[in-house]
Structure 1
Amino acid sequence: MLLLQLLLLLVVILIGSQMKGIGLGVMGMLGLLVFVGVFHLRPAEPPLDVMLIILAIVTTGATMQAAGGLQYLVSLAERIIRSNPARVTFIAPITSFVLCLFAGTSHIVYSLLPIVSEVAAKKRIRPERPLSITVIASHVALTGSPMSAATAALAVILAYPGAALDIMKIGIPSCFIGVLAGAFSVRKMGKELDQDPVFLEKMKDPAFASAIDQETGSVSQPVKPGAKTAVLIFCVAILLVVLCGSFPSLVPRVPAGKAGLQVSADGRLTMGCIIEIITLSAAAIIMLVTRTKATDVVQTSMFTAMASAVVSVFGVVWMSATFIAANEAVIRQALGGMAQAHPWLFTFAVFLMAALIFSQAATTKTMMPLGVALGIAGAHLIAMFPAVNADFVLPGYPTLLAAISFDKTGTTHIGKMVLNHSFMRAGLVTIAVAVAMGFLLGHYLL
Structure 2
Amino acid sequence: MIIVQLIILLAMILIGSRLKGIGLGVMGMIGLLIFVLVFHMRPVDPPVSVLLIIMAIVTTAATLQAAGGLDYLVRIAEKIIRKNPSHITFIAPFTVYFLCLFAGTAHIVYSLLPIISEVAAKKRIRPERPLSISVIASHMALTGSPMSAATATLAATLAYSTAAVDIMKICIPACIIGIAAGVISVWKKGKELNEDPEFLEKMKDPEFAKSLEATTTVNQVDLKPGAKTSVLIFGLAILLIIFFGAFPQFVPVVEAGNPGFAVNADGAVNLTGLIIMITLSASALMMLITKTAPTEVAKMSLFTSMATAVVSVLGVVWMSATFMAANESIIEHTFKDITSEYPFTFAFALFIVGALTFSQAATTRTIMPMGIALGIVPPHLIAMFPAVNSDFILPGYPTLVAAMDFDRTGTTRIGKYVFNHSFMIPGLVSIAVAIAAGFMLSSFL
Q: Normalising by structure 1, what TM-score? A: 0.99
Aligned to 1:34: 34
What are the residue-to-residue correspondences of 1:83-162 with 2, within 5 Å? 83-162=83-162
Letter in 2 for 1:310: V
CA offsets per residue over residues 380-408 of structure 1, 9 Å max, x none? 00000000000000111110001011000
Q: Secondary structure at the match of 1:267?
A: coil
- After superposition, the Cα gap between the structure-2 partners of 1:338 and 1:224, relative to the gap in structure 1 and judged at 3 Å, is same
The CA deviation at 1:216 is 4.1
Measure the CA separation in 2 of the matches of 1:275 and 1:217: 35
Q: Could you tell me which residue of structure 1 aligns to residue 231 of structure 2? A: 231
SS of the aligned residue for 1:115 comes to helix
* Root-mean-square deviation (Å): 0.8
Q: Distance in 2 between matches of 1:215 and 1:422?
A: 25
Q: Is the 8 A contact 2:118 2:215 kept in 1?
A: no
Give the letter aligned to residue 316 of structure 1: V
SS of equivalent to 2:410: coil
Amino acid paired to 2:59: T
Cα distance, 1:218 vs structure 2: 6.0
Matched residue of 2:259: which SS? coil
Alignment-derived partner of residue 421 in structure 1: 421
Quote the residue 1:332 is aligned against: 332
Find the counterpart in structure 2 of residue 367 from structure 1.
367
1:25 lines up with 2:32 in the alignment: no
Q: Could you tell me how far apart the structure 2 residues matched to 1:72 and 1:190 are? A: 34
Matched, 1:51 2:51: yes
CA apart distance, 1:280: 0.2
Q: Which residue of 2 aligns with 1:386?
A: 386
Give 5+ residue unaligned stretches, structure 2. Answer: none
Query: Contact 1:65 / 1:71 at 8 angstroms: preserved in 2?
Result: yes
Q: Distance in 2 between matches of 1:143 and 1:7?
A: 29
Secondary structure of 2:391's aligned partner: helix
The residue aligned with 2:275 is 275
Q: What is aligned with 1:289?
A: 289
Query: Aligned-pair distance for 1:219?
Result: 5.2
Cα pair 1:75 1:220 within 8 Å, conserved? no
Three-state SS of the structure 2 residue aligned to 1:444 is coil
Offset from partner CA, 1:355-378 (integer Å, 9 cap, x none): 101000000000100000000000
1:292 is displaced (CA, Å) by 0.3
DSSP-derived class of the 1:41 partner: coil
What displacement does 1:104 show? 0.4
- 1-structure distance, mates of 2:305, 2:127: 27
- AA aligned to 2:175 is C
Whichever residue aligns with residue 203 of structure 2, its letter is: M
Shift in Å, 1:9: 0.5
* Identity fraction in percent: 65
Verify the 8 A CA contact 2:44 2:322 in the aligned structure 1.
yes
1:217 Cα deviation after fit: 5.4
- Asked if structure 1 preserves the Cα contact closer than 8 Å seen for 2:71 and 2:219, the reply is no
After the TM superposition, list the runs of 4 or more consecutive aligned residues in structure 1 that deviate by more than 2 angstroms.
Answer: 214-221
Alignment of 1:298-337 (within 5 A): 298-337=298-337
Aligned counterparts, 1:189-228, within 5 A: 189-216=189-216, 220-228=220-228
Provide the TM-score with structure 2 as the length reference.
0.99
Could you say which residue in structure 2 is the equivalent of 1:177?
A: 177
| Unpaired segments ≥5 residues, structure 1 | none
Structure 1 residue 259: Cα displacement: 1.5
Supply the distance in 2 between the matched residues of 1:430 and 1:284 (Cα, whole angstroms).
Answer: 37
2:218 and 2:210 map into 1 onto residues whose CA distance is 17
How far apart, CA to CA, are the structure 2 residues paired with 1:201 and 1:232? 48
